[in-house]
Amino acid sequence: LLTLLLILSAFSLAGCDEDTTTNVGKLEFKNPLQIPPILEPRTDSEGKKHFTLTMQSGSTEFLEGKQTPTWGINGSYLGPTLRVSRGDQVSFDVINQLNETSTLHWHGMRLPAVMDGGPHQMIEAGATWEPHWTIEQPAATTWYHPHLHGKTAQHVYRGLAGLFIVEDEESKKLPSEYGVNDIPMIIQDKLIKGDGSFNENMSMTPFGLLGNQILVNGTYDPYLEITASQVRFRLLNGSNARAYNIGFSDNRSFYLLGNDAGLLPEPVLLDRLLLSPGERTEIVVEFEPGEETILHSFAGKDGIENGEFDLVKMIADTSLSASSPLPNHLTAEPLIDVPENVKVRKFELTTKSAINGKEMDMNRIDEVIPAGAREIWEITNKGWDHNFHIHDAAFTVMDKNGELPPLYERGRKDTVFIPNGTTVRLAVDFGSYPDPDTPYMYHCHLLYHEDSGMMGQFVIVEPGTESQVSKELSKGS
Ligand code: C2O
Ligand code: CU
């Protein structure tokens, strides 16, 4: 009976509840799109780059004349963009000036587990956390956000998130002038109450909170002035649960350059792509002088794809700076494939907040993986829409229900959409920092699902020592 009720409520939210599916009122594109500032590091005598990130509370005016209590990093909402190059050594002071414990996770980074910022690397109120590592991965648009178990949805929703861009020689050949022809877009849905405060009802639908006011980089009702004939956009779905069917109001096509974990071998021409929570994509759009178009999310299937929203109006100047043609080959980085007879691990998702029937347990190790392994992870979804993210890993989607994935899901990824009734097979490239005592996470990136237990833990160990690893963590963190 409970299942039936849940199904009915899912239908009503998909079908009838106007409030969760369209922009409130009509957008007027009144506000210039804000661009998160680049945080310049302090570089020490050894060339190491030091960044200071302060998690703090504040207040932000999204809707005219209304103050919304928010959280941010080095500001009142969202955080600065970090930009580093492959090979850089980075170190951080992450200062928690909030009144409660949080964490800061580097989503998409390949790094030792103790630096990952997952649920075990807690930063208490008033404390500073100092992770450091060397950037050893191809160019990608990654991001950072809190990951405190049970509180991730609330902490991200209040505004703790930012972009972390990795560049390399290949990515620098693409449009890279930040804020000019290389524009970040952090897309998030909100529910802002009459008094300006956020509705924080994380369990309002079976998927979590679905809002009807869309913020891009924390800007409500935004427009963007285009000054170059070719512009690269880095899109991040930083929403708690909503997926976006991205395209343009005039149905123009655009080039897909890369996905979560790096560039594609070649640009791919598309006119739509689906972005579920946590996923990133890099696209290039061509503009004619004086034209206007709207970046739009088109209504898709019921569930987390049901929204129809204008995102940003783009207005091209009457004269545009010329751009050099896109390279035919974007990267020589090989796609991730797996040898024959490779280990296959199977995972099942349902309407329960669990993976393979088990709720997340901070003290239980679910999987033990040899350093540097390539494996097939086969994930079957028999319940609501979900997606799946693996820390410290990159993967290629081999197939979805036995067929090649859509073009926009090719290449290197770290998060994949798995709608109800779908089985995906992922060719996964795991990290190579053994540490039997500190787990990484895999989970649904619908934050309410993750918080309620749809998450598991794995450790990376020296190859050959798998059987010696204890499946229980004795220490608390
Ligand atoms: Cu974006 Cu485990 O998270
Ligand atoms: Cu889920």
ipTM value of the model? 0.98
Q: What is the CATH number of the domain that holds 48?
A: 2.60.40.420
Task: Report the Cα 245 to chain-centroid distance in Å.
Answer: 15
pLDDT above 80: residue 13: no
Residues in the chain: 477
Domain total of the chain: 3
More confident call, 417 vs 3: 417
Asked if 241 and 209 touch (Cβ cutoff 8 Å), the reply is yes
Pairing label, strands 367-370, 455-461: parallel
What is the average per-residue pLDDT within 48-71?
A: 97
Q: What one-character-per-residue DSSP string does 21-84 give?
A: TB-SS-----EEPP-PPB-PPEE-TT--EEEEEEEEEEEE--STT--EEEEEESSSSB-PBEEE
Question: Strand, coil or helix: what is 18?
Answer: helix
How far is 354 from 126, CA to CA, in rounded Å? 33
Among 151, 172, 193, the domain boundary falls at 172
In the reported structure, the alpha carbon of residue 147 is separated from the centroid of ligand 1 by a whole-number distance in angstroms of 7
Q: Which ligand is nearest to the CA of 153?
A: 1
**Domain co-membership, 224 together with 298:** yes
pLDDT at residue 386 greater than cutoff 90 = yes
CA–centroid distance, 45 to ligand 2, in Å, is 45
pTM metric for this prediction: 0.95
Ligand 1 atom index nearest CA of 145: 1
Distance CA 224, CA 35 (A): 10
CA 422–ligand 1 middle distance (angstroms): 21
The ligand placed nearest to the CA atom of residue 419 is 2
Per the structure, the complete domain to which residue 180 belongs is given by 175-321
Say how far apart CA 306 and CA 15 lie, in whole Å.
8
Residue 7 in domain: no
The residues with which 345 forms a beta bridge, in sequence order, are: 377
| Tens-place pLDDT, residues 346-374 | 999 999 999 999 999 999 999 999 999 99
| Higher local confidence (pLDDT), 23 or 244 | 244
Ligand 1 site residues (CB inside 6 A) read 105, 107, 145, 147, 278, 389, 391, 441, 443, 445
Mean pLDDT (whole number) for 293-308 = 93
Whether 294 maps to a domain, the answer reads: yes
Q: Which ligand is nearest to the CA of 353?
A: 2
Structure tokens at 239: 């929403």
The answer to whether residue 134 scores a pLDDT higher than 60 is yes
| Cβ-count burial 308-327 (b if 16+ within 10 Å, e if not) | ebbbbbbbbeeebeebeebe
Strands 309-321 and 292-297 come out as antiparallel
Residues 185 and 89 grouped into a single domain: no
* 165 and 212 assigned to the same domain: no
Q: Are residues 181 and 304 in the same domain?
A: yes
Contact indicator for 246, 295 with CB cutoff of 8 Å? yes
Separation of CA 420 and ligand 2 centre (Å):
10
pLDDT tens digits, 433-449 = 999 999 999 999 999 99
* One domain, residues 217 and 135: no
**Which stretch of 10-19, 37-46, 75-84, 391-400 has the lowest confidence by average pLDDT?**
10-19
258 belongs to a structural domain: yes
Residue 352 Cα to chain centre, angstroms: 23
Please report which ligand is nearest the Cα atom of 355.
2
Residue nearest to atom 1 of ligand 1 (CA): 107
Distance 230 CA to ligand 2 centre (A): 36
d(CA 221, CA 9): 29
Give buried/exposed letters for 25-63 (b at 16+ CB in 10 A, else e).
eebebeeebebbeebebeeeeeeebebebbbbeeebebb
Cα 430 → chain centroid:
19
Task: Point out the domain boundary residue: 172, 199, 226.
Answer: 172
Q: Which of 321, 354, 379 is the last residue of a domain?
A: 321
Residue type, 371: A
Report DSSP letters for 118-144, one per residue. STTS-B-TT-EE--EEE--S-SEEEEE
Q: Is residue 148 part of a domain?
A: yes
Is 187 inside a domain boundary? yes
Alpha helices in 135-179 (DSSP H): 152-157
Nearest to 217 by CA among 74, 98, 84, 62: 62
- Confidence at 41, pLDDT banded by 50, 70, 90: very high
Residue minimizing CA distance to atom 3 of ligand 1: 107
Whether the predicted pLDDT of 10 surpasses 60: no
* Atom in ligand 1 nearest the alpha carbon of residue 450: 2
- Please give the distance, rounded to the nearest whole angstrom, from the Cα atom of residue 151 to the centre of ligand 1: 12
